[in-house]
Amino acid sequence: MPSIPDIAIGIIQVLVIMALAPLMTGIMRKTKARTQKRMGAGLFQPYYDIVKLLHKDEVVSDQSSWIFRISPWVNFVAIGTAAFFIPVFLTPSPFGLVGDLILVVGLFALARFFTMLAGLDVSSTFGGLGSSREMMISALLEPAIFLAIFVVAITYGGTNLSTIVEAAANSALLSHPQLIFAAIAVFVVILGETGRLPFGNHSTHLELTMMHEAMVLEYSGKSLALVEWSQSIKQLVLFTLIANIFVPWGISSSILPLALGIGLLAFVIKVSTLAVGVAFLESSVAKWRLFRLPDLVAIAIASSMIGLVFYYL
């Protein structure tokens, strides 16, 4: 039976993720603005946006049903629950006994399921377009995700995230070459899952380039705040995953205050670096044609396959 402080630290980690998630979005927007020689909005703009949206009135389409109304809530709840299973700055987690990496993927899929339904619910062509593209990309990403999980699981002996991160923290750098290939795959998966370039473009409302934005076009007010926030949380959860599995530096293995402080600091530095890196990448590549994206996913899958063969041979 896990102790109360363990559970409390687990909950604090989730709160940290939820609180920092909009900041990461802010950092990415700022980076993109600076690379484009703009000043850009402040780092805290996403927080102001959420608060502003929470106080706005909502307009709901007369074609929509209860599916459209509950979808942002399901989204937030599923993604927020998934955040419980990710070690953020402490390896042992009582929630490792509840679920693993595959459950996290499952909860993301649940959120996506409802987002796609909501996109189709309002009978707008934008929504249909977004859901249609998301359906293809997410289905193709699934094998890439699972194969990467496969490589990580056989290397570190489990899909339980505490086990993985603990084993990762205790192993020497570059002692598992197959993980480099898995990391490439996971990076592509993260770009696809969060709809970053070259998959989709967050800062546009052109139907040619939209994926996620098209599905949630009809949302406003509170619902939009939930959608935006849960999207940021999902992004940070994925960044945390890649940071803690592949670069587990500084993560704490005990609940001593000093170790926890170092862990938190290391976590913030790692994910911010990743955010800046992804934003740079976004500034330097163009959106790919939709039907070229399967090639990119195929590269991810092939990379994991090479990793697997590396491990077994």
Partner 1 sequence: MISDLVLFQVIVLLFLGGAMLGLASRNGRFARPIIFIPPMIGSALAVLFSIDILTGKPLSWIVPNMVPFFNLEVFVDGVSAFFMLMIGIVSFAVSLYSIGYSREYQVTKRISVFGFLFNVFVVSMLLVVSSNNGFFFLVFWELMSLTSFFLVIYDHDKEENIKSGMTYLVMTHFGTAFIFVSFLLGYLQTGSLSFDSLRNSSPSFPFLIKNLMFVFAFVGFGTKAGIVPLHTWLPKAHPSAPSNISALMSAVMIKMGIYGLVRIVFDLAGFGATPDFAWWGMLMVVAGSASALIGVLYAIVERDIKRVLAYSSIENIGIILIGLGLSVIFASYHLASLSALALVASMFHTINHAFFKGLLFMGAGSVVYATHTKDMEKLGGLVRLMPWTSLLFLVGAISISGLPPFNGFVSEWLALQALLSSSQIPSTILQISIAFASLPLALTIGLAAGTFVRLFAMTFLSKARSKFSLNIREVSRNMIAGMAILASACALFGIVPSLGISLSSTAFHLPYQPSSPFDAVSLQNASGKSFANLSMPVVAMMLSGMALAVFGFIRVMSGKTTKTTYGTWDCGFGNLNERMEYTATSLSQPIRAVFKALFKSHNESDKELYVRTNPYLVKSIIFKSSTRNIFEENLYNPIVSSTILVLDKIRKIQTGKINSYLLYIMLTIILLLLFVRLSHA
Does the footprint of partner 1 cover residue 204 (CB under 8 A)? no
Kindly tell me the burial class for residue 295, based on how many C-beta atoms sit within 10 Å of its own C-beta (0-12, 13-18, 19 or more): exposed
Coil, helix or strand at residue 175? coil
Q: Give the footprint of partner 1 on residues 31-50 (CB under 8 A).
A: none
Is 265 one of the binding residues for partner 1 (CB under 8 A)?
no
Binding marks (x or -) toward partner 1, 154..193, rule CB under 8 A?
x--xxxx-xx--xx--------------------------
Binds partner 1 (CB under 8 A): choice among 7, 8, 19, 97 = 97
The region of 35-43, 56-64, 193-201, 279-287 touching partner 1 under the rule CB under 8 A is: 56-64
State which of residues 13, 81, 209, 235 lies at the interface with partner 1 (CB under 8 A).
Answer: 81
Write down how long the chain is. Answer: 313
Indicate whether 209 belongs to the interface with partner 1 (CB under 8 A). Answer: no
Structure tokens at 158: 């489990």
Tell me the CB-side half-sphere exposure of residue 15, using CA atoms within 13 A.
6
Task: List phi, psi (to 5°) of 252.
Answer: -85, 145
Task: Pick the binder of partner 1 from 26, 99, 192, 263 (CB under 8 A).
Answer: 99
Closest CB 65 distance from partner 1, rounded Å: 4
* 128 contributes a contact to partner 1 by CB under 8 A: yes
Q: How far is the CB of 2 from partner 1 (least distance, A)?
A: 11
DSSP 63-99: T--HHHHHHHHHHHHHHHHHGGGS-SSBS--GGGGT-
Q: Which is nearer to partner 1, 62 or 284 (CB)?
A: 62
Block residue for tokens 């849960």: 230
Q: Which residues pair with 85 in a beta bridge?
A: none
Tell me the sheet residues that pair with 252: 90
Question: According to the binding rule CB under 8 A, does residue 249 interact with partner 1?
Answer: no
The secondary structure of 177-219 as a DSSP string is THHHHHHHHHHHHHHHHTT-TTT--TT---TTT-SHHHHTTT-
Please give the Cα distance from 24 to 21 (Å, whole number): 5
Taking a C-beta distance cutoff of 8 angstroms, is the pair 85, 104 a contact?
yes
90 beta partners: 252
Pick the stretch among 36-44, 115-123, 180-188, 236-244 that binds partner 1 (CB under 8 A). Answer: 115-123
Interface with partner 1, residue 126, by CB under 8 A = yes
Site for partner 1 in 279-308 (CB under 8 A): 290-291, 294, 301, 305, 308
Among 7, 139, 208, 265, binds partner 1 (CB under 8 A): 139
Q: Compare residues 173 and 313 and give the one whose CB is closer to partner 1.
A: 313
For the CB of residue 263, give the shortest distance to partner 1 in the complex, in Å.
20
